[in-house]
Amino acid sequence: MYDHPYQWGSKRTGPDLARIGGKYPDSWHFNHMLEPTSMAPGSIMPPYPWLFEKSIDYGSTNSKIYAMRKMGVPYEEGYEAIANEDLKAQANQIVESLKKEKITIGADKQIIALIAYLQRVGKDIKAAPKEEQLSQK
Ligand code: HEM
C-alpha cells in the first residue's frame, strides 16, 4: 500500500502478489526464494541465493524512513530513532518461526527482510476499511 514507487512494476510474469501477506508460512517463502521449484514444481521464477548470504544495511534505515514519510507513508514522528530496534524484533520473530521448521539463518540476512515485506503486502489495505467504519460512528 505504501510502496513508492510501487515495487512490482507494470509488467508481471508471476502471479499478483497484492494479497501475498499471510498466504504462506515464513518457511514457504524461505524455500521458494532459495529454490522456487521446491515449492512450485515447474516454476520459471529464478532463485535468489544472494539474499541468504548478504546482510541487511541497518545504516540506511533512518534515511529510508525519512524519504518514505516525505512521500506520504504515515511513520510517526521520531520513528526513525526506534526503527532498527523494531526491525530486529521483527527479524527475530521470523528467525524463530523458521527454527520451528528446522531452518537456521541469521536475523541479519536480507531474506529475512524480504519475508517480513512479503508477509505485510496487502495487510495494511485490508485493515483500512475497518478504521474508516470506526471513524464514521
Ligand atoms: C524479488 C523478486 C521476486 C519475489 C519476491 C517473488 C515472489 C513470488 C511469490 C511470493 C510467489 C508465490 C505467489 C503465490 O503463490 O501466490 C511467486 C510466484 C511466481 N513467480 Fe516470483 N518473485 C520474484 C521474482 C520473479 C521473477 C523475476 C519471475 C519471472 C521471471 C517470477 C515468476 C514467478 C512465477 C512464474 C510464479 C508462479 C510459480 C511459483 O510459485 O514459483 N518471480 N513469486
Does the Cβ of 40 fall within 6 Å of ligand 1?
yes
Domain tally, the chain: 1
pLDDT in tens, 63-109: 999 998 998 889 999 999 999 999 999 999 999 999 999 999 999 99
pLDDT in tens, 6-59: 666 667 788 989 899 999 999 999 999 999 999 999 999 999 999 999 999 999
pTM, entire model: 0.88
Residue 102 lies in a domain: yes
For cell 514519510, the residue is: 69
Residue 44 lies in a domain: yes
Does the Cβ of 44 fall within 6 Å of ligand 1?
yes
Residue nearest to atom 37 of ligand 1 (CA): 14
Residue 100 lies in a domain: yes
Residue 56 lies in a domain: yes
Percentage of the chain with pLDDT > 70? Answer: 86
Are residues 121 and 15 in contact, defined by beta-carbon separation less than 8 angstroms? no
Q: CATH number for the domain including 66?
A: 1.10.760.10
Does the Cβ of 115 fall within 6 Å of ligand 1?
no
Cα–Cα distance, 15 to 33 (Å, whole number): 14
Residue 13 lies in a domain: no
Residue 6 lies in a domain: no
